[in-house]
Structure 1
Amino acid sequence: MNFLKTAFIPEGQVSLVAVDYRINPVIEDKLNKMGIECIKTAKCRELYEAVDGHPDMLMLHMGGDKIIVAPNIYEQMAPQLTKKGFAVTKGATWLVRNYPGNIAYNILRMGDLVFHNLKYTDAEVIRMLEKEKATLINVSQGYTKCSVCILDSKTIITSDQKLSMTAEKFGIESLLLKPGGINLKGLNYGFIGGTSGLLSKKQIAFTGKLKGLEDSCKLIEFLGRKGFELVALCDEEPVDYGSIIPLKCS
Structure 2
Amino acid sequence: MILLDEAARHLKASLKDMDTVVLTPRLSQVYAGINGHADLLVHKLDDSTLAVAAECTDFFKNLGLHYNVMPIEGIASPYPGHVQLNIAVFGKWVIHNMKVTPEPVRAFYERQGYHFIHVAQGYTKCNLVVGRRSLITSDVGIYRTLKDIAPILLVESEHVALKGFNYGFLGGASGLINDTLVFAGSLERHPSYARIVKFLDRQGESWTQLQGPLVDVGTLIQI
Q: Same fold (TM over 0.5)?
A: yes
Structure 1 runs (4+) greater than 4 angstroms displaced: none
Residue 232 of structure 1 aligns with which residue? Answer: 209
In structure 1, C-alpha distance between the alignment counterparts of 2:99 and 2:120, rounded to whole Å: 10
Whether the 8 Å contact between 1:65 and 1:87 is mirrored in structure 2 is yes
AA partner of residue 114 (structure 1): V
- Aligned letter for 1:149? V
The one-letter code matched in structure 2 to 1:76 is: F
Query: Per the alignment, do residues 40 and 24 of structure 1 end up closer, same or farther by CA in structure 2, a change over 3 Å counting?
Result: closer
Q: Secondary structure at the match of 2:162?
A: coil
The structure whose RCO (Cα within 8 Å, separation 6+) is larger is: 1
Per the alignment, do residues 72 and 232 of structure 1 end up closer, same or farther by CA in structure 2, a change over 3 Å counting? Answer: same
Could you tell me which runs of 5 or more consecutive residues in structure 1 were left unpaired when the two chains were aligned. Answer: 1-15
Shift of 1:144: 0.8
Q: Hey, what's the Cα distance between the residues in 2 that align with 1:241 and 1:132? A: 30
Paired residues in the alignment total: 223
TM-score by length of structure 2 reads 0.94
- For the pair 1:158 / 2:158, whether they are aligned, the reply is no
Secondary structure in 2 matching 1:164: helix
Equivalent residue for 2:17, pick from 24, 28, 33:
33
Question: Separation in 2 of the partners of 1:98 and 1:29?
Answer: 33
In the superposition, the TM-score normalised over structure 1's length comes to: 0.84
Partners of 2:172 and 2:217 within 8 A in 1:
yes
Q: Are positions 1:54 and 2:34 aligned together?
A: no
**Aligned match of 1:44 in 27, 31, 34?**
27
The aligned residue for residue 75 of structure 1 is 58
Counterpart check, 1:22 vs 2:7:
yes
Matches within 5 A, 1:3-152: 16-25=1-10, 27-34=11-18, 36-80=19-63, 83-91=64-72, 93-152=73-132
Aligned pairs for 1:161-200 (under 5 A) are 161-169=140-148, 171-200=149-178
Tell me if the contact between 1:41 and 1:77 (Cα under 8 Å) persists in the aligned partners.
no
Given that residues 180 and 213 in structure 1 are in contact (C-alpha distance below 8 angstroms), is that contact kept between their aligned partners in structure 2? no
* Structure 1 contact 106–142 (Cα < 8 Å) conserved: yes
Unaligned runs of 5+ in 2: none
**Counterpart for residue 3 of structure 1:** none
- Post-superposition offset of 1:87: 1.1
Question: Contact 1:61–1:67 (CA<8 Å) still a contact in 2?
Answer: yes
- Stretch moving more, 182-191 or 116-125: 116-125
Q: Is the 8 A contact 1:42 1:77 kept in 2?
A: no
Are 1:207 and 2:184 counterparts? yes
CA contact (8 A) 1:208 1:239 kept: yes
